[in-house]
Structure 1
C-alpha cells in the first residue's frame, strides 16, 4: 500500500513555512528538522517516512510555492547561511547569494524539488 503525503502549497510563503507544512504531513510527529539536510534525511526513511512502504508526495498548489520560494526567498535564506557559514565557505556562499539576488541560479523551490528527486525518486506529484 502506498502512503500519500499531501503538501498544501498554498500555505507555503517562505522556506520556514515549508518546514511546517512538510513536518505536519511527512515528519515524525509533525517535526523532522528545519533545514535541507534534515529534509533529505527524512525522505531517506526512518525519520517519519516509511522504511518498507512506497510513498508519494503530492504537492498541491505547487505554483504558489514556486512563486513564493523563488530567487528572493533563496537570497533571504542564503543571507542567513552566509552569516553563519564557516569562513572557508564564505566566498562560495556570497557568489550563490549574488546569483540569487540577480534572479539567476536555483530557487528555494528548486532546492526542495532536487532533494525530493534525489532522495525519493519518482515520488513527487506536482498539482
Structure 2
C-alpha cells in the first residue's frame, strides 16, 4: 500500500520552514527529513521514516505558494548566507549563482527541491497540486 506524505505548501514561508513542514509530513511533529538539499536526497534513500519498500509518494498541496516562497529572492538569501561558509574553491561558483538569483535567473530552491523529489532517489515520486 502506497504511503502518501502531504506537504502543505501554504505553510512554507522560506527554506527553514520547508524543512520543518517536510519533516513533520514524514515523521510527525518535530520530525526530521533533511535540513539541506544533500540531506534531503539522502533521506529519500530510506531509513529516515519512509517505508523500507519505497512505496511512498509526496503530495505537495498549494505548491504555487511554496514556489513563490522558495523563489529567486529566497534562493539569493540562502546563497548570500552560505558565501561565508563555503570552501574558498567554491566561492566564485556560489557568487555566480547568487548574482543569477538576484537577477531572477537560474534555478530556484523550489525547482531544486522538486528535482530531488522527482529524481530516481524518490521511488514514489511527487504530485504537485
TM-score range, shorter chain: over 0.9
> What's the offset of the Cα at 1:27?
4.0
The question of whether the paired residues in 2 share the 8 Å contact of 1:70 and 1:108 is answered with yes
Tell me the equivalent position of 2:36.
Answer: 35
Counterpart contact for 2:55–2:123, Cα < 8 Å:
no
Give deviations 1:56-113, integer Å, cap 9, x for gaps: 1000000000011100000011111111000000000000000000000000101100
Deviates more, 1:43-52 or 1:103-112: 43-52
CA distance in 2, matches of 1:121, 1:48: 14
Q: TM-score when scaled to structure 2?
A: 0.92
Q: Distance in 2 between matches of 1:103 and 1:70?
A: 9
After TM superposition, the runs of 4+ consecutive aligned structure 1 residues lying more than 6 A away are: none
1:16 aligned residue: 16
Checking the alignment, whether the CA contact within 8 Å between 2:14 and 2:70 is kept in structure 1 is: yes
Aligned residues: 127
TM-score (normalised: structure 1): 0.94
Contact kept, 8 Å, 2:55 with 2:124, in 1: the verdict is: no
Go from structure 1 to structure 2 and tell me whether the alpha carbon gap of 1:43 and 1:27 turns closer, same or farther (over 3 Å shift).
farther
**What are the ranges of 5 or more consecutive residues in structure 2 without an aligned counterpart?**
none
What's 1:103 paired with? 104
The alignment's C-alpha RMSD in Å is: 1.4
Q: Which residue in 1 is equivalent to 2:122?
A: 120
CA distance in 1, matches of 2:10, 2:19: 13
C-alpha separation in 1, matches of 2:107 and 2:124: 21
Take 1:121 and 1:42, find their aligned partners in 2: how far apart are those partners? 12
Residues 3 and 53 of structure 1 are in contact (CA less than 8 Å); yes or no, is this contact kept in structure 2?
A: no
Contact 1:20 1:31 (C-alpha < 8 Å) held by counterparts: yes
Aligned residue in 2 for 1:75 = 76
